[in-house]
Amino acid sequence: MGEEESSELVVLYASSPERPEIKLVSLLGTIEQLRDSANSDFVITREQLFAVNITNVTTAYYSLLYHANSGAYPADIKSAIRANLSTNGELLLPLAAAIKLMLDFSSEEPGLALPSGYSDVMHWLEDRVASTSYVTRVSRSPYYKEALNNIIDSSDLVNKTVSEDIAGHYFVKSTEINNVPAQLVLNDDATGSWHENARSAEFTWSTSADGLNLDFGWPGLEISTQPVSQFYGANATKYLRQAQLTLASESAVDIIFSAKLKHVTDPPIGINVAPVEETLSSSFKAFKQSSLTDAFTALALEQEYVIPYAGIYP
């Protein structure tokens, strides 16, 4: 196999003759990567390569690569890795939820259907303005949160199997606190820490059938402190107490985590009311330090990548 052939990408498509708007896609990797993943009988299962599932999540991810690659689908592994560095992981779940609303909920709510002027879902995703405006609009729909939760709860759409080498030092591109970089540290002894701006918190972590579970204990990672008018301007503080992470996408250099985040807002000191709990769904991208410093990856990128400083040094 020549170098050019070994770097070409294999892409799977799914469509429906009954519903022409359905066109989904999944990027599997290179032929060489597929051979490495296959059984001795050259069969690849989802346990070996989760991307063989063609879903709304894999389709949303492929569209992020398209836009990060200057409006063209990556033709080889090098262009795919370069595009990976520029993708916005926070858009993965909203786009996947939008696709789910379009295909699974539009029969109940016609306003969620594929907008006119587009032949199928992939055609629509190629229009950045149209897709982002649709996401903004449907995020106010009562079905939107249901679609997000359906994705995160489904083992067919996100990978809940946690690999043995999940421990490590991760650099998170941006987060919910002030939209700034952060660092996530998973130690081998099932402890860990989150560092962001001047804030940090320790947690314990475990794995289950639901994915990777982080428990920050009490009070948790401080998210925000804001005055509350009904308490005469006294401050209420919001904390992140627990997080459930699954793998929405994984490449040679990064992971996009889908996350269920349990927030608790404590009332001002001296105010006798119960804390307010809420669970939010989101996604974020993280670069594993060991992957970024791997020599093969550095050669494949043919460029430098600067790790953002986020409160501690690696």
Residue 83: pLDDT over 90: no
CB 169 within 8 A of CB 194: no
Neighbouring C-beta atoms of residue 295, cutoff 10 Å = 7
Least confident of 39-48, 67-76, 86-95, 287-296: 287-296
Least confident of 24-28, 34-38, 205-209, 292-296: 292-296
Model confidence pLDDT, tens digit, residues 193-223: 998 877 889 999 999 999 999 999 999 999 8
Q: How far apart are CA 282 and CA 69, in angstroms?
A: 24
Which of 114, 10, 141 shows the shortest CA–CA distance to 56? 114
- Quick check: helix, strand or coil at residue 82? helix
pLDDT of residue 4: 56
Q: How far is CA 241 from CA 16, 103, 219, in A?
A: 43, 34, 7
In the predicted model, what is the mean pLDDT of residues 70-76?
Answer: 94
Express the helix, strand and coil content of the chain in percent, nearest 5 each. Answer: 30, 30, 40
Residue 279: pLDDT over 90: yes
pLDDT of residue 98: 97
Residue 90: pLDDT over 80: yes
Residue 306: pLDDT over 60: no
pLDDT of residue 1: 45
Residue 189: pLDDT over 60: yes
pLDDT of residue 192: 97
Residue 262: which pLDDT band, with cuts at 50, 70 and 90?
A: very high
Domains of the chain: 3-153 (no CATH), 168-301 (2.40.128)
Residue 308: which pLDDT band, with cuts at 50, 70 and 90?
A: very low
Residues 6+ apart with CB under 8 A from 230: none
Q: 31 is written with which tokens? A: 């032929």
Sign of the alpha-carbon dihedral angle for 98, 102, 107, 110: positive
Q: How far apart are CA 99 and CA 221, in angstroms?
A: 32
Least confident of 11-20, 72-81, 169-178: 169-178
Say if residue 115 is preceded by a cis peptide, omega within 30 of 0: no
Model confidence pLDDT, tens digit, residues 53-66: 999 999 999 999 99
211-215 and 235-250 strand pairing:
antiparallel
pLDDT of residue 211: 94
Residue 305's identity, in one-letter code, is: Y
Half-sphere exposure of 123 (CA within 13 A, CB side): 12
In the predicted model, what is the mean pLDDT of residues 164-186?
Answer: 78
Residue 293: which pLDDT band, with cuts at 50, 70 and 90?
A: low
pTM greater than the 0.85 cutoff = no
DSSP result, 244-289:
EEEEEEE-SSEEEEEEEEEEEEEPPTT---PPEEEEEEEEEEEEEH
Mean predicted lDDT score pLDDT of the chain: 85
Which of 187, 199, 183, 283 shows the shortest CA–CA distance to 243? 283
pLDDT of residue 96: 96
- Quick check: helix, strand or coil at residue 167? coil
In the predicted model, what is the mean pLDDT of residues 5-9?
Answer: 74
